[in-house]
């Protein structure tokens, strides 16, 4: 399905859901269940809490569907709801003084065809990368995840986060450098070989979405 067809289908589902069609709303939930959960996990670092946050996101989506501005990209609107809810959770978490060390490890989904050693290596890499992400402030983490894991453009991230373009670019620049520094100090093997030295950080280079997690800081 092309991007245009996807947008048209989503708008049809939205309109049908507003008219009381429960199946149409279910279709919207199914279409965004994975991206919403993944964003919640990358922001919160805990599988169970991410599941709760994703469910709450869709509850809020249902309640606010009548406020959706159809001139906006629906995916951006959905992820904005998810990201704002995650930030609220992180603020409440700080008040409860929950530390990163108290969070249980996440078991990521892997290909059923992957060899056992590949599964173990991928889980280890993902858990270490997630731990480093969790060391970043959430105002750095969110734009980083949206840009390099989801491939959103600067303009789309500005729409989701409410940041100005200049503020977003500055925040992404700082987030890249901070995460690259953490990688060099704690998990240098997560970086490409040429980026593992302590020389000048070249993390501002653009990357392809299929290799974003590995090349963001090269």
Q: What CATH number did the domain enclosing 58 receive?
A: 1.10.1740.10
Number of structural domains found in the chain: 2
Q: Are residues 52 and 153 in the same domain?
A: no
Percentage helix, strand, coil for the chain under 3-state DSSP, each rounded to 5: 70, 0, 30
Considering the domain architecture, whether residues 28 and 101 belong to the same structural domain is answered as: yes
Q: Could you tell me the two tokens for 171?
A: 């925040």
- Residue 104 in tokens: 């249980």
Question: 10 and 99 share a domain?
Answer: yes
Q: Are residues 72 and 161 in the same domain?
A: no
Residue 46: which domain range?
Answer: 1-106
Cβ-contact 171, 140 below 8 angstroms: yes
If asked whether residues 19 and 38 sit together in one domain, one would say yes
> In this structure, are 131 and 92 located in the same domain?
no
CA distances to 18, 40, 91, 204, 209 from 85, rounded to whole Å, are 23, 9, 10, 29, 25
pLDDT tens digits, 92-127: 876 543 333 333 333 344 445 557 777 788 778 888
Shared domain for 120 and 35, answered yes or no, is no
- Is the pLDDT at 66 greater than 70? The verdict is yes
Using one digit for the tens of pLDDT, what is the confidence trace for 125-139?
A: 888 888 999 999 988
Query: 106, 128, 158 — which closes off a domain?
Result: 106
42 shares its domain with 86 = yes
Reported confidence tier of residue 170, pLDDT bands at 50, 70, 90: very high
Domain boundary among 106, 130, 147: 106
| Together in a domain, 38 and 102 | yes
């Amino acid at each position: 399905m092309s991007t245009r067809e996807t947008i048209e289908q989503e708008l049809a589902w939205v309109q049908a859901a507003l008219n009381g069609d429960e199946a149409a709303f279910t279709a919207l939930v199914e279409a965004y269940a994975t991206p919403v959960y993944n964003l919640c996990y990358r922001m919160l670092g805990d599988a169970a809490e991410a599941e709760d946050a994703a469910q709450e996101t869709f509850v809020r989506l249902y309640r606010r569907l009548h406020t959706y501005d159809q001139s906006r990209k629906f995916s951006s609107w959905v992820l904005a709801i998810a990201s704002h809810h995650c930030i609220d959770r992180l603020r409440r978490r700080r008040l409860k003084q929950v530390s990163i060390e108290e969070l249980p490890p996440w078991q990521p989904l892997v290909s059923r065809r992957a060899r056992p050693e590949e599964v173990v290596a991928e889980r280890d890499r993902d858990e270490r990368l997630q731990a480093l992400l969790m060391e970043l402030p959430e105002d750095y983490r969110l734009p980083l995840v949206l840009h390099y894991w989801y491939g959103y453009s600067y303009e789309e991230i500005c729409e989701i986060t409410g940041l100005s373009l200049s503020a977003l670019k500055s925040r992404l620049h700082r987030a890249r450098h901070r995460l690259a520094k953490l990688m060099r100090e704690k998990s240098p093997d997560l970086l490409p070989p040429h980026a593992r030295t302590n020389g000048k950080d070249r993390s501002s280079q653009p990357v392809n979405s299929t290799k974003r997690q590995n090349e963001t800081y090269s």
